[in-house]
Structure 1
Amino acid sequence: MRRTGLRAIVLAATTLVSGLAAAQTAVQPVRIGLIMPLTGGSAGTGNSALVGAEVAVQEINEVGGYLGRPLELVIRDDKGAPDEGLKIAQELVLKQKVTATIGFCNTGVAMKALDVFQSNKSLLIVSCSTGTEITAKYPAESSYIFRTAAPDRLQTQFLVDEIVKRGLSKVALLVDNSGYGDAGLKDLEAALAHAGLKPHAVVRFKVGVQNLDEEMKQLKASGADSLVGWTVGPESGVISAARANAGWKVPQFGPWALSHAAAFETSGGKVEGAMMVQTVLPNPFMDRNSAFLRSYAKLSKESPIGSMMSAAQSYDSVHLLLRSMFDARGDLSGPSLKRALENPTTTYRGVVTTYERAFSPADHDAISANMLWLGTWRHGERAYVYKDDERRATVIRRKEIKAAAAGE
């Protein structure tokens, strides 16, 4: 978002609260929790999310913060471990008493911590984790859990639609045996059934595996005409390396994790040509996209970025939270921020897309099916599979409102 636009919003919103109230709180920062895996197997994704959030906070503070109060990130490392994520969530909500929290890249970690936010009416915006159940655990009308990442139920249907469009029907599934894999397999089977298909072959494997050559040989021998690998970043790279080692030329598809730098690195570049679901890709035709990447590069020199998606979605999450704070008119309690997020008064021009209404009382997922792109690895960077999509992305894909919310 252009800083001039942000400055205008900040100045206009300031008039909603009395000068006296603003002066009384001017020296107190607004503390926002950030829980990400900054070490461990998902560290690349978590650190990208951190940098994305830091870019947003820096921009906001440069134009006055929230009514003169700077935003401050209270950063914690969940290490990709559910028990650690739970402990940190309790600390931030119960002891640190943060205004709201942005976090989680691992579905298993998020699921274990959700009750902490819900039971204490403390706002959580999930900017990375994609497990379908995250925003399904509680009814939206009473939930304090929001998300700016694409749910797996959308990702799996998107991939199956692409597979069917290509005339493929013998789909092999190579899925890890974690909770993320279990849920992903369920969503994949449902998406295939919706298309009148069944998995041609299914093979499971353990997270942390270093070689999948034998599993790949088994799937190749099955006669499948396409491969969907469902796992996290590093293991997505192991799948690509095994497919290359087997000389199996069928198309490889995967969730957003296939776009993580860890997949590229683990595969030794053999992810080239593999296809994955994306909410955002580097796009020189889009000013807000390019500006974000330039700001990101000032804080981090990683190449390629660990995860552009987690970075951009975390950046947008901070800005959406800021707008809800202004709409809350000085009441930064969980219930007030929840209502404000569900009923925004302004449009937010973000990196992923332009949000007229990211959330509603009936829908706490910011991403809808029409906002997804098919990405690939090309020459060591993420790119659109279809070149036309790169230009079509300049036409804003506005969120599809759920039928239940349309009549509000």
Structure 2
Amino acid sequence: MMAAGLLASGVQAQEDPIKVGVIFPLSGGAGPQGKHVNWAIEAMAKMINEDGGVMGRQLELISRDDESTPAVGVSRANELISEGVDVIIEGWNSPVTLAMQPVIARAGIMDITAISKADPILSGEGNPLAVRLNSSNAQDGAVIAKFIADAGATRIAFLTENDAYGTGAQASIEASLKEMGHDYEKVAEELFPFDQADFRVQLSNVKSANPDITIAINANEGLGMPAIIRQAKRSRLPGTLVAAVGTVAPSVIEVAGDASEGLVGADIYFPNVEPFASNEVNRRFIATTEELHDYTPDKFMALGATALQVWAMAANEVESLEKEAVANRIRGGSFENTLLGDITFGENGQLNSNHYIFDVTDQQIVVRDSAN
């Protein structure tokens, strides 16, 4: 009887769902975008469960709100660690990710950063086995610098979020301009906190500098970036307003409205543009997300979903949920048939991405022909 009881207990343990922790802002300025990323991860979990799960077990998501605050993020990470999760997918704000990394690493849990961009995330200091899906500040900086050089712009202004993400993004753009030997003058530099929504003073200062191009670096897509776009239009800011890579989703354009006309940006994923439009996995992901939430996924949602998809593919391949085994399969590895297509990670855990420059026309993202 005891042996039978132990066997039954073992079978039950094997059938228990795998707990996946998810930490993004669900309130505040970035709350809407964080909720959308949660929706996307939910859609991917549904797809994975329909296909048999991970090592035959279903996935169960446990979500937490980091409130875009490092201390709260650490508290939420500790909650998920106590819940016994096997992996945590996190990261909208770089300062929050940097605060959570060492806590999750010490717990021996796999940590995948979906969105946060600061270069120190992959330094190995906070998490020696870091993995990130979103493009890095260094990658993005090269793309924006090339756009500036190709446009022949020489008078450059910066509206920059004053944190690890924002200042790192600006530094990467300037470093790339220097590396390519493009002569330019930084005619204005205005710093602001993440939660700022009134940029009239900063825009007045930038306007008086008469820039050819103003680079707006703002990760607060629910509040800050739409406000910059609207207020820049009202101020009649000269030159071209260029959004930092990955800071303009369709939701930003929807809030900014007509003021977004003529905005230039760059990104790495568009749901209905090649090479993504014909990708069967991406099409299934879009259909599942729309079925669950009546919402077409954007780049951030695709990255969150791909984070879970890649982790599941790696765990199934190595037949283990153990952090080192899964992380080592991802870092430096390649994966076929993801919703982003066939992808490769660098040895440092950074996803290698193609960037596409786009213009906003009639409140729609119009992708230019070539990828960078």
Asked if Structure 1 and Structure 2 have the same fold, meaning a TM-score greater than 0.5 normalized by the shorter chain, the answer is yes
CA-to-aligned-CA distance 1:359-379 (integer Å, 9 cap, x gap): 35x2200134xx111133333
CA-to-aligned-CA distance 1:44-85 (integer Å, 9 cap, x gap): 221121111111110111121123210111111111111110
CA contact (8 A) 1:279 1:352 kept: no
Q: Distance in 1 between matches of 2:9 and 2:171?
A: 51
1:200 aligns with 187
**Structure 2 vs 1, CA of residues 353 and 250 (structure 1 numbering), >3 Å: closer, same or farther?**
farther
Equivalent residue for 2:285, pick from 292, 299, 309: 292
Larger relative strand fraction: 2
Deviation at 1:157, TM superposition (A): 1.6
Is 2:214 aligned against 1:227? yes
CA contact (8 A) 1:278 1:373 kept: yes
1:359 aligns with 345
Q: Distance in 2 between matches of 1:198 and 1:350?
A: 42
CA-to-aligned-CA distance 1:302-344 (integer Å, 9 cap, x gap): 4xx5x71111011111111111111222x32212222222365
**Structure 2 vs 1, CA of residues 340 and 187 (structure 1 numbering), >3 Å: closer, same or farther?**
same
1:248 aligns with 237
Is 2:162 aligned against 1:172? no
Segment of structure 1 superposing worse, 104-113 or 373-382: 373-382
1:316 aligns with 306
1:381 aligns with 364
CA contact (8 A) 1:26 1:67 kept: no
CA contact (8 A) 1:375 1:382 kept: yes
Identity of aligned residues (%): 19
Deviation at 1:137, TM superposition (A): 4.1
- What is the TM-score of this pair, normalised by structure 1? 0.80
CA-to-aligned-CA distance 1:124-180 (integer Å, 9 cap, x gap): 1111111121112439xx822200101111112210111101111211111122343
**Ranges in structure 1 where 5+ consecutive residues have no aligned partner:** 1-19, 398-408
Deviation at 1:295, TM superposition (A): 2.0
Deviation at 1:183, TM superposition (A): 2.4
CA contact (8 A) 2:211 2:238 kept: no
Deviation at 1:88, TM superposition (A): 1.2
Q: Distance in 2 between matches of 1:209 and 1:133?
A: 24
CA-to-aligned-CA distance 1:73-113 (integer Å, 9 cap, x gap): 111111111111001112222x1221111111111110111
RMSD (CA atoms)? 2.6
**When the two structures are aligned, how many residues end up with a matched partner?**
357
Q: Distance in 2 between matches of 1:155 and 1:203?
A: 20
The 5 Å alignment of 1:129-208 reads 129-138=116-125, 143-196=128-181, 197-208=184-195
2:20 aligns with 32
Task: Give the letter aligned to residue 345 of structure 2.
Answer: F
CA contact (8 A) 1:284 1:290 kept: no
CA-to-aligned-CA distance 1:263-297 (integer Å, 9 cap, x gap): 33543441222122211013255223444322221
CA contact (8 A) 1:38 1:79 kept: yes
* 2:61 alignment partner, SS class: strand
Is 2:332 aligned against 1:332? no
* 1:376 alignment partner, SS class: strand
- What is the TM-score of this pair, normalised by structure 2? 0.87
Task: Give the letter aligned to residue 217 of structure 2.
Answer: W
Q: Distance in 2 between matches of 1:219 and 1:80?
A: 28
CA contact (8 A) 2:149 2:177 kept: no
CA contact (8 A) 2:68 2:96 kept: yes
Q: Distance in 2 between matches of 1:352 and 1:383?
A: 19
**Ranges in structure 2 where 5+ consecutive residues have no aligned partner:** 1-7
CA-to-aligned-CA distance 1:222-252 (integer Å, 9 cap, x gap): 1311110111222222221122112234121
CA contact (8 A) 2:24 2:92 kept: yes
Is 2:240 aligned against 1:237? no
**Structure 2 vs 1, CA of residues 120 and 230 (structure 1 numbering), >3 Å: closer, same or farther?**
same
CA contact (8 A) 2:250 2:298 kept: no
* 1:258 alignment partner, SS class: coil
Q: Distance in 2 between matches of 1:107 and 1:122?
A: 19
